[in-house]
């Protein structure tokens, strides 16, 4: 076992709300001497084939991944999925539904912002006039556009005043349940992991999730304190689940989490990597 092995299993690219392209993330991972990676964009697996091709050329083991937005009793829950074949149809269709959800939500938020005197257009946020784009647009894109136009001075301010759950222009958007999301992941031969469990911040919801058929929990997370990490690792071990981890790197939009600042060891990475190879092989 290589004691220096580090694989970051949670990061975002320009396919959703990160600021580096998948190729740039792979290059950064190599610069940082990471031994493995999964890129987990919000609700999309677009561009994964290109990323896999590039990672192969660069000899960096890359595992398919995605971070799916779900809701449980009106509370937002993020679910990471790993190791599915990138052409898995149930997941592709599900991501398409999320894409429609995000486009509708964006229209509704823009309307609300306009009512509050914030003149942002579809183009300011998506950088296209049509709705034929493939990346996942989220609130960080709106926050960046608001900053660029001088309406707020930071991303935090945009969320606090306008976009966050308590903000003036918050729109919840259509919700997908945790159960439905788990079904899609499992039908797609993926492994389902509770993302950043500390953000759920509600014991009864955590209890509900722990009773569902997840395969893992994110126990190593860039901004966890040691005691927090130990708590989630212990819970995951008790369940016999995989304990995953990653930085939740987003690039410049969230500058305080650098790529590789949280990671899993060789043993955990190998389980996921083998699962990915097996599921992709079964599919062909
Ligand atoms: P969305 O997918 O559009 O609901 O946006 C969720 C994204 O917004 C997540 O990646 C979060 O990291 C980010 N986010 C949520 N709340 C905040 C906040 N208060 N400040 C900065 N980013 C946030
Ligand atoms: Zn994000
Ligand atoms: Fe998340
Ligand atoms: Fe994330």
Ligand 1 binding pocket, CB closer than 6 Å: 17, 42, 69, 138-140, 155-156, 159, 164
Nearest Cα residue to atom 20 of ligand 1: 156
- For residues 184 and 90, the answer to whether their CB atoms sit within 8 Å is yes
Average pLDDT, the chain: 95
Confidence at residue 191, expressed as pLDDT on a 0 to 100 scale: 98
Dihedral (CA of 223, 266, 186, 55) sign:
positive
In this predicted structure, the answer to whether residue 26 has a pLDDT above a threshold of 90 is yes
In this predicted structure, the answer to whether residue 2 has a pLDDT above a threshold of 80 is no
Nearest Cα residue to atom 15 of ligand 1: 164
Which ligand is closest to the CA of 196, given by its number?
Answer: 3
Residues with CB under 5 A from ligand 4 (ion): 67, 248
Question: Tens digit of pLDDT for each residue in 213-256?
Answer: 999 999 999 878 889 899 999 999 999 999 999 999 999 888 88
Which ligand is closest to the CA of 175, given by its number?
Answer: 1
Under the banding of pLDDT at 50, 70 and 90, the label for residue 93 is very high
CA of 196 from ligand 3 middle (Å) equals 7
Q: Which of 79, 98, 139 to mutate to test the pocket of ligand 1 (most atoms within 8 A of CB)?
A: 139
Token pair in block for residue 249 = 């790197």
Q: Which of 15-19, 238-242, 279-283 has the lowest mean pLDDT?
A: 279-283
Nearest atom of ligand 1 to the alpha carbon of 141? 3
Compute and round to an integer the Cα radius of gyration of the chain: 18
Helix (H, G, I), strand (E, B) or coil at 220: strand
112-142: buried (b, 16+ CB within 10 Å) or exposed (e) per residue?
bbeeeebebebebbbeeeeeeeebbbbbbbb
Alpha-carbon distances, residue 76 vs 19, 137, 165, 171 (angstroms): 23, 17, 10, 13
Question: Tens digit of pLDDT for each residue in 43-79?
Answer: 999 989 999 999 999 999 999 999 999 999 999 999 9
Number of residues written out for the chain: 284
CA of 117 from ligand 4 middle (Å) equals 30
Identify the CA nearest to 217 among candidates 183, 241, 190.
241
Q: Which of 138, 146, 221, 248 to mutate to test the pocket of ligand 1 (most atoms within 8 A of CB)?
A: 138
Token pair in block for residue 103 = 């486009």
CA of 220 from ligand 3 middle (Å) equals 13
Q: Which of 16, 44, 125, 140 to mutate to test the pocket of ligand 1 (most atoms within 8 A of CB)?
A: 140
Alpha-carbon distances, residue 163 vs 42, 139, 152, 197 (angstroms): 17, 7, 12, 22
- For residues 265 and 29, the answer to whether their CB atoms sit within 8 Å is no
CA of 138 from ligand 2 middle (Å) equals 8
Distance of CA 176 to the CA centre of its chain: 15
In this predicted structure, the answer to whether residue 284 has a pLDDT above a threshold of 60 is no
Nearest atom of ligand 1 to the alpha carbon of 105? 3
The helix (H) or strand (E) run that includes residue 242 is strand 242-246
Q: How buried is 148 (Cβ within 10 angstroms: 0-12 exposed, 13-18 middle, 19+ buried)?
A: exposed
Between strands 65-72 and 75-82, the pairing is antiparallel
End-to-end, the C-alpha distance of the chain in Å comes to 31
């Amino acid at each position: 076992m290589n004691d220096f092995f580090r694989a970051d299993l949670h990061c975002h690219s320009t396919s959703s709300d990160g600021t580096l392209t998948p190729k740039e993330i792979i290059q950064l991972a190599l610069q940082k001497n990471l031994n493995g990676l999964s890129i987990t964009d919000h609700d999309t697996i677009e561009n994964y084939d290109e990323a896999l091709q590039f990672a192969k050329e660069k000899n960096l083991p890359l595992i398919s991944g995605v971070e799916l937005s779900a809701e449980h009793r009106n509370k937002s829950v993020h679910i990471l999925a790993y190791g599915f074949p990138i052409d898995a149809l149930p997941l592709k269709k599900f991501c398409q539904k999320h894409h429609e959800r995000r486009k509708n939500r964006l229209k509704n938020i823009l309307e609300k912002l306009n009512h509050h005197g914030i003149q942002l257009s579809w183009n300011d946020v998506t950088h296209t006039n049509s709705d034929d784009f493939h990346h996942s647009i989220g609130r960080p894109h709106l926050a960046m556009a608001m900053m660029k136009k001088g309406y707020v001075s930071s991303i935090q301010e945009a969320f606090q005043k306008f976009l966050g759950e308590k903000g003036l222009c918050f729109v919840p958007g259509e919700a997908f349940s945790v159960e439905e999301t788990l079904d899609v992941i499992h039908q797609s031969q993926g492994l389902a992991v509770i993302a950043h469990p500390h953000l759920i911040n509600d014991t009864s919801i955590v209890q509900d999730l722990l009773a569902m058929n997840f395969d893992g929990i994110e126990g190593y997370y860039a901004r966890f304190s040691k005691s927090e990490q130990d708590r989630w690792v212990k819970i995951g071990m008790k369940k016999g689940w995989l304990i995953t981890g990653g930085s939740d790197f987003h690039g410049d939009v969230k500058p305080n989490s650098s790529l590789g600042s949280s990671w899993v060891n060789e043993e955990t990475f190998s389980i996921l990597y083998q699962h990915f190879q097996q599921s992709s092989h079964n599919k062909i």
